[in-house]
Structure 1
Amino acid sequence: MAVIELVDGGKQAMKTTWIILRLSLLSLLFSFPAPAQTASTGALTGEITDFNGAVVGGVQVTTINEATGEKRDVVSQENGIYVVALLLPGSYRLEFTKRGFKSSVKAGLQINVTETKRLDVQLEVGSVEEKVVVVSESELLQTESPALGNVTNHESVVNLPLVTRNYTQIVTLSPGISAGVTNAAALGRGSSGESQGSFRVHGASGADNNFQMNGVGINDLQASGFLSGGVAVPNPDAIQEFKVQTGLYDASYGRNAGAVVDVVTRSGGNNFHGTVFEFLRNDAERHTQAESIRVHAWRTNQERQALVLRLVSGHAPDQWRRRWRDQQLLLTGVHR
């Protein structure tokens, strides 16, 4: 009888041990923090301390998008750490407030896609109505991730020469990328976007590149050149920025062993603004060359005009497009 009770007790102890082990594994799994940024957003983190270097918890951190006025509020933890996740790329104004301390304000903080910027703040003792405005500060570095890569902003996209209006021609601005010379006589958007970009990163195959736009995959899975069309290539004026990650990026971006190209398109703001341009390619503008090597495509397929007018006021985009035989009219309006 005693032997039976001993065996039953051993089974019960073993069962209890397995339950505890499983619960421990589950708690360990869910204890890992969720990614603060995604393929279409960035994030901000930092530590808040007082004048003596002691951490300050319970500080209200308000982030304000300077283009749209959108506000996000978080509270710093007891260890002084704060995290503002899933921020759309753009310029932000930050306000740090807590009773017993002067408010601290930082404006013009740039958040980039896929990056987590770090901003440490030191609060001064005083009334919360008093404000300390940070006017100038060294540029924030991306120190929260070992990922290698480079961000190309809107100004670079629209001002650098793009012979076929294709942003993939300037991905080589990031180190570690090799690509062939762009074919200036290619039709449409050229050959740069075909077969996953037609460029190589650290010796990997060009088919291993991964393209995402606003967090959605836009890969050319067939990868058969002009037959499958290549990756999606938006109008350069519609691109806010793009980042090419070339190595050490985390598994959330992983698909293949090549580069990860994350494109973010422009969104609306609270102010009206617009651009007007004309993009014309005509054989009359070419250098004189022999009749035997004249490219007929320059006269018939590459001659076009484009007019873009963008009126922005709010957040929801509406797009209209009209195509004519010799020119293209693209109107992009954003309203409330």
Structure 2
Amino acid sequence: MKKIHFTYVQFFLLSFVLIGLMQANGLLAQSSTILGTVQDETDAVLPGVSVTATNLGTNQSRTVISDDEGRYRVSQLSSGTYEVQAELSGFSTGVRRPIVLVLDSQAVVNFSLSIGQITERVVVTGEAPLVETTSAVTANLVDDRQIRDLPLNGRDLVQLALLQEGVVQNTKNLKTQGGNDGIFVSMAGARIHQNAFLLDGTDIRGARGNMPAGAAGSVAGIETIKEFKVITGAFSAEYGQFTGGVITAITKSGTNDLHGSVYEYHRNAALDARNFFDVDPQDPLTRSKVPNFIRNQFGFSLGGPVVKDKTFIFTSLEV
């Protein structure tokens, strides 16, 4: 029998591939889908139509062919703004834009093609319907604008989950413990350790099953997270092992446009008001002064193309 010898490099490469395969199912939950039906002007279905979805930020595209019933499905798309184009010989080309995809969503985009030259383009400007008709999941999206604009104590984005119905903060832990665990939350009436927190498809809860947090008490820098979804009921089997709720987040990515930010957030005792109920422990009838406090949070983010239309990079740091 011939012996098989592995070098250290081969061993680590094989381990990397196996780890990637283990995370494949979780990553599918982070992607979105565009689906619909292609018909002609008489409402007859059109098979064999070439449907292309193009990300307007990266110019990357994916093409599928409609089936015998005129249906098509473009899956595993990252969140962003898309243009969808339907082409068939003997018919004018149909174009729909902008189609905005958010985390783990399905956009229904139907086409009605008219007879004409394929070089003729019929452009329909308008977003896909916002009403979810393809899933019974009880969920709410927290988009990048809410993450960026709403005030957060310590810039911990998990606090935004408390704005969703069915999510409450547990009084057992009102602050970060040990720089490892974030706030305890109860979702859909379940225990605090029965929730999932996924970042780009990977479970990143603490060792004790708590909400994750770094030394600053937050899971990641605000500039790093693009959006996240809070799922509190009727979630599918891809979110197994949890009886409470799911918080699934995705990080930002680079585009063809170079973009970034530099920031610093400052807070100290001079800018804080004294708590009305604070009193001097030595003299309960005397109100105490504002406790000494100072906090500086600063960082940067930068994203852009490495190779235009092909490879992109995004990096951020917050301390």
Flag whether TM exceeds 0.5 (same fold).
Answer: yes
- Of residues 90, 95, 112, the one that matches 2:102 is 112
Residues in 2 aligned to 1:217 and 1:150: alpha-carbon distance in whole angstroms: 19
1:30 is matched with none
Residues in 2 aligned to 1:209 and 1:273: alpha-carbon distance in whole angstroms: 34
Task: Report the alpha carbon displacement of residue 256 of structure 1 after superposing the two structures with TM.
Answer: 1.0
Amino acid aligned to 2:88? K
Amino acid aligned to 2:195? N
- Of residues 190, 197, 200, the one that matches 2:186 is 200
2:147 is matched with 157
1:317 is matched with 313
- Of residues 33, 52, 62, the one that matches 1:62 is 52
| 1:37-57 deviation per Cα after TM superposition (whole angstroms, max 9, x unaligned) | 822211111111111111111
Amino acid aligned to 1:235? G
Asked if structure 2 preserves the Cα contact closer than 8 Å seen for 1:187 and 1:297, the reply is no
2:257 is matched with 271
TM-score, with length taken from structure 2: 0.78
| Bigger radius of gyration | 1
Unpaired runs of 5+ in structure 2? 1-24, 282-287
Give aligned pairs, total: 282
Cα distance change of structure 1 residues 188 and 219 upon mapping to structure 2, 3 Å threshold: closer
Residues in 2 aligned to 1:156 and 1:46: alpha-carbon distance in whole angstroms: 30
Asked if structure 2 preserves the Cα contact closer than 8 Å seen for 1:239 and 1:264, the reply is yes
2:300 is matched with 308
> More deviation in 228-237 or 215-224?
228-237
Amino acid aligned to 2:240? G
Cα distance change of structure 1 residues 136 and 189 upon mapping to structure 2, 3 Å threshold: farther
CA RMSD in angstroms comes to 3.3
2:42 is matched with 52
Cα distance change of structure 1 residues 226 and 304 upon mapping to structure 2, 3 Å threshold: same
Cα distance change of structure 1 residues 130 and 80 upon mapping to structure 2, 3 Å threshold: same
Residues in 2 aligned to 1:99 and 1:249: alpha-carbon distance in whole angstroms: 41
Residues in 2 aligned to 1:77 and 1:283: alpha-carbon distance in whole angstroms: 65
Residues in 2 aligned to 1:189 and 1:317: alpha-carbon distance in whole angstroms: 32
Amino acid aligned to 1:306? F
TM-score, with length taken from structure 1: 0.74
Amino acid aligned to 2:29? A
> More deviation in 305-314 or 267-276?
305-314
- Of residues 233, 242, 249, the one that matches 2:235 is 249
Unpaired runs of 5+ in structure 1? 1-34, 329-336
> More deviation in 40-49 or 310-319?
310-319
User: Aligned with 1:114: secondary structure?
Assistant: coil
More strand by share: 2
Asked if structure 2 preserves the Cα contact closer than 8 Å seen for 1:117 and 1:143, the reply is no
Identity %: 27
Cα distance change of structure 1 residues 189 and 298 upon mapping to structure 2, 3 Å threshold: farther
Residues in 2 aligned to 1:288 and 1:296: alpha-carbon distance in whole angstroms: 8
